[in-house]
Structure 1
Amino acid sequence: MIIGIIGGGQLAKMMAQEARKLGLGVAVLDPQEECPACGLADYRIAGSFMDGEKIRKLAEISDVLTYDIEHVDVETLKELEEEGYQVHPSPRILQIIQDKLVQMETMKRAGVPVPKFVKADKDELEEKAREFGFPLVQKTRRGGYDGKGVVIIRDEHELTKLLPADSMLQEFVRIEKEIAVMVARDQYGNVEVYPVVEMVFNEANILDFLVAPAKIPDEKAKEAQEIAIKVVEALDGVGIFGIEMFLSEDGRILLNEIAPRPHNSGHYTIEACLTSQFEQHIRAITGLPLGSSELLIPAVMFNILGKGYGKPRVVGLKEALSYPGVYVHIYGKPLVRPLRKMGHVTVVNRNLDKALEIVHKVKEIIKVVGDGS
């Protein structure tokens, strides 16, 4: 069986590693000549994620299609699905996810708790913002990720910060913690839900580090898992899904965003769980039984973000690996740029506080820098 992946980044690489372990073949579509997943692929097609002809070519050499990025040509994928090609998660889901307003409307109809929101077209942003009330969060309907396309407007004086794009204006939630849950669902409706994790973001709104399990009451963890399952079942999703949520200061759990693919908040599962998110995704989309999502050991994960520009050079690897329970993943991206995700580190320890202590030390040691810095 050949798994066709649209996208050849780090998520595709880690999917391909799991596919290989199960004896499955891999085909990748990516515009980069040296994409992280390219070295693991049996077939590589060079091309844009929006190139319908190249996507169709990938489908013709694959038994099932999936993707590691949402910004792809959905119309071609819908045509392929209608023609009988296997595409998981369905492009119908991808179409919902690509538009943040449609995503929230769909979830609200399904009874999923969401922040208050309103549609705001490009030419009515200021008027809608005043009507909605401050503070608020503007999210552009399309194209945003890792904090891009998101602006906080605290009062009328900050209306000049509004992004000129069709948007959704959303309630500014006073957050106690940002949390996430990975959910796997197979073609028969079976579900595996992972522990709730808590996330800390940096100034650029990129995940800085993550703690598994989240330090929240058991009843709140159970509620978050139930909401995450409800989201995936409402979508009739097949594959792995990252469900990001807010735990508000007043105790509400509200949906933030959905990722229909392996997700940054699930990287810890490689070392900490019986079945990683990547193996789970491969199992789900190929009709294999889902694995157990049981957490074997507490974990803390942090992203290694690029420093400078140029070809990557890893600094501090030897010293970082001298600490117990440290696992380093370098993605193999050919070029560094500031804040680009170049790898991640997971630290496991029976004592979560000890894992956090090690993380804060290792974060200062290991770097990926550009040779042109």
Structure 2
Amino acid sequence: MLDPTKQNIGIIGGGQLGKMMILEAKKMNFQVNILDPTPDCPAHSIADEHLVASFTDQEAIKELAVKSDILTYEFEHIDVEALKELEKEGYQVYPTVKSLAAIQDKFRQKSILKDEGLPVPDFLKAENRAEIKEAAERFSYPLMLKSCTGGYDGKGNAVINNKAEIDKAFRELKGAKNDLMVEEFIPFKKEISVIIARGIDGDKKVYPVGENEHQNNILFTTKVPAQITDEVADKAVKLAFEVIDVFKGVGIFCIEMFVTAADKLLINEIAPRPHNSGHYSIEGCITSQFEQHIRAISGLPLGETELLKPVVMRNILGEEKEGEAVVKGVNEALAIPGVKAHIYGKRVNRPERKMGHLTVTADTVVEAHELVLEASGLIEITGE
């Protein structure tokens, strides 16, 4: 029988997610090639080969596929048509191109979920300002206006509080050029996320539910286990299993959900890849989301996902000054018991750019949160 760890893995993207995939893949002796336009991207120093090319360069993507037995990706904004051609030629792409195509367009994603009877906020396509006004009559204000493709970390979203803000939001999201959708605004009590893995053979493993906090629409903190009732946690896990079956995903998927005041769950968005809210699993679980993704796409058995200890993850965001990144306070932060620091190695700092993260494991979530707050006050990344 062929040793699956003799396979070459190709990753489209060489950012922090790609870097953390490689770190786990190397433990199991995989060869890993990456494609990324930035010569000194975070994954560059540990990849076996780095193709420096645009994410839209179809010839370069084909070259990566030729050099690899399996293709995967660290973000979903990829040319689906190029990947479809590769699948037709027999190249293995995971998560599958079908699941990627369904998820990368938020309107299509929500439509599929709704058609399957899964709970989502109400939504409508918005091709012009008039249709946004019609949506307001149906949903009332405030509204969420979203780009159907390409958004991340709050980019591609705009809250519309009244009729006077429609024009500004439409222009900000380039509605004349981009497909937009309108969602009803959900005054949620909590946002939670569930990380779930599905293997090539259909086996599934789910991670403990995480509770997320945001700052300026950017994920800032994830606490695990989430401070929700067992009933809500069970419903969230059940929903995650249903979602991954709908999209027949292979690899790691993240399902973000809103918890309403009445403890009702609504699916917000899905990511077909390892996710920021799953970083806690590196220290907090038996098998990290990154190891699990490699196992899933290569045909290895999935690992156990049990939580070892309560854990809190906090992002290290770039400070105000833009320029060559300078990291300060690592010594002081790591002197705090239970603190682990992950510095991504991005050469350039920009305000609110994800430059790293901290995790703390402790006996309780409250204790872990207190320690991570202390550590995050000591470490900073700024521009020189």
TM superposition shift of 1:123: 5.2
Take 2:250 and 2:119, find their aligned partners in 1: how far apart are those partners?
A: 22
Aligned to 1:137: 144
Aligned to 2:4: none
Aligned to 2:61: 55
Contact 2:8 2:70 (8 Å CA) reproduced: yes
Take 1:357 and 1:256, find their aligned partners in 2: how far apart are those partners?
A: 28
Of 48, 51, 55, the residue aligned with 1:45 is 51
Of 161, 165, 174, the residue aligned with 2:168 is 161
Q: Is the aligned partner of 1:265 residue 2:277? A: yes
TM superposition shift of 1:162: 2.0
Take 2:291 and 2:252, find their aligned partners in 1: how far apart are those partners?
A: 9
Take 1:112 and 1:257, find their aligned partners in 2: how far apart are those partners?
A: 12
Q: Secondary structure at the match of 1:50?
A: coil
Take 1:294 and 1:17, find their aligned partners in 2: how far apart are those partners?
A: 21
Contact 2:322 2:348 (8 Å CA) reproduced: yes
Q: Provide structure 2 residue ranges, at least 5 long, that are not aligned to the other structure.
A: 1-6
Cα deviation per residue 1:107-130 (whole Å; 9 max; x = unaligned)? Answer: 111221111111111353443333
Cα deviation per residue 1:6-37 (whole Å; 9 max; x = unaligned)? Answer: 00000000000011000000000000000111
Take 1:249 and 1:150, find their aligned partners in 2: how far apart are those partners?
A: 23
* Range moving further from structure 2, 19-28 or 67-76: 67-76
Q: Secondary structure at the match of 1:249?
A: coil
Contact 1:118 1:170 (8 Å CA) reproduced: yes
Amino acid of the residue matched to residue 292 of structure 2?
Q
Amino acid of the residue matched to residue 127 of structure 2?
D
Cα deviation per residue 1:29-48 (whole Å; 9 max; x = unaligned)? Answer: 00000011111111110111
Aligned to 1:200: 213
Take 1:259 and 1:75, find their aligned partners in 2: how far apart are those partners?
A: 19
Q: Secondary structure at the match of 1:311?
A: strand
> Following superposition of structure 1 onto structure 2, how do residues 80-159 of structure 1 map, counting pairs within 5 Å?
80-122=86-128, 124-132=130-138, 133-159=140-166
Cα deviation per residue 1:95-143 (whole Å; 9 max; x = unaligned)? Answer: 1122110010011112211111111113534433333322211111111
TM superposition shift of 1:154: 2.1
Contact 1:13 1:40 (8 Å CA) reproduced: yes
Take 1:201 and 1:125, find their aligned partners in 2: how far apart are those partners?
A: 30
Aligned to 2:307: 295
Q: Secondary structure at the match of 1:328?
A: strand
Of 363, 369, 372, the residue aligned with 2:376 is 363
Cα deviation per residue 1:205-257 (whole Å; 9 max; x = unaligned)? Answer: 00111100100000100100110111111000000001101001122100000
Take 2:50 and 2:219, find their aligned partners in 1: how far apart are those partners?
A: 30
Cα deviation per residue 1:232-284 (whole Å; 9 max; x = unaligned)? Answer: 11000000001101001122100000010000000000000000000000000
Amino acid of the residue matched to residue 178 of structure 1?
E
Take 1:163 and 1:70, find their aligned partners in 2: how far apart are those partners?
A: 24
Contact 1:140 1:163 (8 Å CA) reproduced: no
Q: Is the aligned partner of 1:248 residue 2:260? A: yes
Take 2:222 and 2:64, find their aligned partners in 1: how far apart are those partners?
A: 35
Amino acid of the residue matched to residue 244 of structure 1?
E
Q: Is the aligned partner of 1:22 residue 2:4? A: no
Q: Is the aligned partner of 1:190 residue 2:197? A: no
Aligned to 1:220: 232
Aligned to 2:19: 13
TM-score with structure 1 setting the length: 0.97
Contact 2:129 2:170 (8 Å CA) reproduced: no
Q: Provide structure 1 residue ranges, at least 5 long, that are not aligned to the other structure.
A: none
Amino acid of the residue matched to residue 296 of structure 1?
L
TM superposition shift of 1:83: 1.3
Cα deviation per residue 1:279-329 (whole Å; 9 max; x = unaligned)? Answer: 000000000000001101000001001111111111111110111000000
Q: Secondary structure at the match of 2:121?
A: coil
Take 2:127 and 2:134, find their aligned partners in 1: how far apart are those partners?
A: 9
**Count of residue correspondences:** 370
TM superposition shift of 1:161: 3.3
TM superposition shift of 1:360: 1.5
Q: Is the aligned partner of 1:233 residue 2:239? A: no
TM-score with structure 2 setting the length: 0.94
User: How much identity, in percent, do the aligned residues show?
Assistant: 51
Take 2:289 and 2:118, find their aligned partners in 1: how far apart are those partners?
A: 23
Q: Is the aligned partner of 1:79 residue 2:85? A: yes
Aligned to 1:304: 316
Amino acid of the residue matched to residue 45 of structure 2?
G
